[in-house]
Amino acid sequence: MPDRSSLVQARLRCVGNTLAAEINGQESATVTDGTYADGFINIQGNGPAGVPLDLRLTHLSVSAVSPETSAQAARPVPSQRGTVLLADSFLDPDHGWLPRGAMSPTTTLEYASGAYRMARAQDADNYAVVTLPGVYSDTKLALDVEVSRGVLEVKCRVSRDGSWYVWRVVPSNRSYMLNRSTTAPTPSTITLAQDTNVSAINALGATNHLEFGCVGDLLSVSANGVSLAAVNDAAPQTGSIVVQAGGLPGRTEAVLHNLLLEQG
């Protein structure tokens, strides 16, 4: 199976004279051209000469637009708040979005028993890391996760310039920390919110429903329906979303039971 951290969700609408393209729920281009009125739909891939190409599709949907709705559908519609950008219940590995297999001799990612398991060996000092496909600005991520050992971290807006927001949840002492981190020009971390002995966070071995919102300048985190913090911070504005387990000495294991990424 391919590494699904490299997958993208692409949508192309050809209605009347309007061509509109979206990548991961974000409008990337809208143009008007009436040269062709009908024809076949073709999907193809290419790359540099002499370089092998491996293009795989996981979901394909084609919908017809009726004449009555074509005028309305031709107008580009930006993604609305609450639009589902990515969802995975982990019940069907063949249609799952997340990577699977051994990241290294000490870390494992796998679909198993209707869930998604992230594990790190006893002597490892790294994280078991999953990067969701796509680059986003305003999002809300919801996870149902059971941490039996270690720490869970969720990052949003992981940018190429080495900056991100990270929400660190430690079920062993029911604590959390929300930070802004940068690696350039020098590494630094600024704590935006934190607390310990939070009754809303379930202990090790229990499932927590976690929600992390990165919308505009507002960062919000909640556990099991209880708001923990809402703070304003102006940067970074766009980037990847990462879920990782680790961060403490010894073995780490986290099991995801549901994942939902929505437009914020």
And the tokens for 21?
């393209």
Tokens encoding 185: 């020009």
| pLDDT on residue 18 | 77
Question: What one-letter code names the amino acid at 35?
Answer: T
As given in the structure block, the two tokens for residue 61 are: 């949907």
Task: List the pLDDT tens digit at each of the 264 positions of the chain.
Answer: 334 445 566 778 787 777 777 665 556 677 778 787 777 687 877 767 666 666 666 556 565 654 444 444 334 445 688 899 999 999 998 888 888 877 678 889 999 999 999 998 876 667 899 999 888 999 999 999 999 988 999 999 999 889 999 999 999 999 999 999 999 888 999 999 999 999 999 999 999 999 999 999 999 999 999 999 999 998 889 999 999 998 777 788 999 999 999 998
215, 138 in Cβ contact below 8 A? yes
**Do residues 9 and 23 make contact, with C-beta atoms less than 8 angstroms apart?**
yes
Q: Tell me which CATH code domain 84-263 carries.
A: 2.60.120.560
Domain ranges of the chain: 4-74, 84-263
Measure the CA–CA gap between 172 and 209, rounded to whole angstroms. Answer: 16
- By DSSP bridging, strand 151-158 and strand 115-120 are unpaired
DSSP string, 198-215: -TTS--TTSEEEEEEEEE
Q: Cα-flanking dihedrals φ and ψ of residue 115, to 5°?
A: -145, -175
Residue 110 structure tokens: 């796998």
pLDDT at 105: 81
End-to-end CA distance of the chain: 31
Structural contact between residues 231 and 240, judged by C-beta atoms closer than 8 angstroms:
no
